[in-house]
Amino acid sequence: MKRQILAAFAAAATLSMAAEDAKYVFYFIGDGMGLGHVNATETYNRDVLRSDSPILMASFPVASQARSYSASSPITDSAAAGTALASGIKTKNSMVGMDPDTVPVSSIAVDFMKAGYAVGVGTTVQADDATPAAWYAHAANRGMKETIAPQAAESGLSFIAGGDFKLKGAGEVAFREFKDVMRKGGYEIAEGYAAFNELKRKGGKLPRKVLMYPENPSGGQVGYTIDSIPGAMTCAQITEACLQTLENVNPEKFLMMIEGGNIDWAAHSNDGGGVIKEILNFQDAINVAYQFYLRHPSETLIVVTADHDTGGMSLGRNGGAYNIAYADAQKISKDSFADWTRNWGKNTPDPTWEEMEKMLKEKLGFWTVVPVSEKETQELRKLFDETFISKKAEDEQTLYHTFNAFTAKAFSILNYHMGIGWTTTYHAGNFVPVYAIGANAGYFTGCLNNTDIPLLIKRAAGLD
3 belongs to a structural domain: no
279 and 328 fall within a common domain = no
Given 3-state DSSP classes, what are the helix, strand and coil percentages for the chain, each rounded to the nearest 5?
A: 45, 15, 40
Give the chain's domain count: 2
113 belongs to a structural domain: yes
302 belongs to a structural domain: yes
438 and 408 fall within a common domain = no
CB-count burial class (<10 Å; 0-12, 13-18, 19+) for 334: buried
436 and 345 fall within a common domain = no
218 and 345 fall within a common domain = no
Whichever domain contains 434, its CATH number is 3.40.720.10
User: 97-116 b/e with 16+ CB inside 10 Å = b?
Assistant: bbbeeeeebbbbbbbbbeee
306 and 319 fall within a common domain = no
Tens place of pLDDT for every residue, the chain, 464 residues? 333 333 443 444 445 445 699 999 999 999 999 999 999 999 999 999 999 999 999 999 999 999 999 999 999 999 999 999 999 999 999 999 999 999 999 999 999 999 999 999 999 999 999 999 999 999 999 999 999 999 999 999 999 999 999 999 999 999 999 999 999 999 999 999 999 999 977 767 789 999 999 998 988 999 999 999 999 999 999 999 999 999 999 999 999 999 999 999 999 999 999 999 999 999 999 999 999 999 999 999 999 999 999 999 999 988 767 899 999 999 999 999 999 999 999 999 999 999 999 999 999 999 999 999 999 999 999 999 999 999 998 988 888 889 999 999 999 999 999 999 999 999 999 999 999 999 999 999 999 999 999 999 999 999 97
5 belongs to a structural domain: no
298 and 344 fall within a common domain = no
pLDDT for res 320: 66
pLDDT for res 84: 98
pTM for the whole thing? 0.94
What is the rounded CA–CA span in Å between residue 141 and residue 158? 25
141 and 259 fall within a common domain = yes
Quick one: how many helices (H) and strands (E) in the chain? Answer: 16, 16
Where in the sequence is the domain holding 220, given as residue range(s)?
12-313+427-460
Instruction: Name the residue among 457, 438, 452, 435 with its Cα closest to residue 62.
Output: 435
pLDDT for res 218: 86
246 belongs to a structural domain: yes
193 and 300 fall within a common domain = yes
pLDDT for res 59: 97
404 and 439 fall within a common domain = no
2 belongs to a structural domain: no
Direct distance between the N- and C-terminal alpha carbons of the chain, in angstroms, rounded to an integer: 40
363 and 432 fall within a common domain = no
pLDDT for res 11: 47
216 belongs to a structural domain: yes
344 and 258 fall within a common domain = no
Who's near 180: CB < 8 A, 6+ residues apart?
A: none
Q: Where are the beta strands (DSSP E) in 141-246?
A: 159-161, 188-191, 210-213
Strand partners, 98: 104
379 belongs to a structural domain: yes
156 and 40 fall within a common domain = yes
CA distance readout (Å), 8 to 5, 14, 38: 5, 10, 21
What is the rounded CA–CA span in Å between residue 306 and residue 299? 24
Could you count the other beta carbons within 10 Å of the beta carbon of residue 251?
A: 11
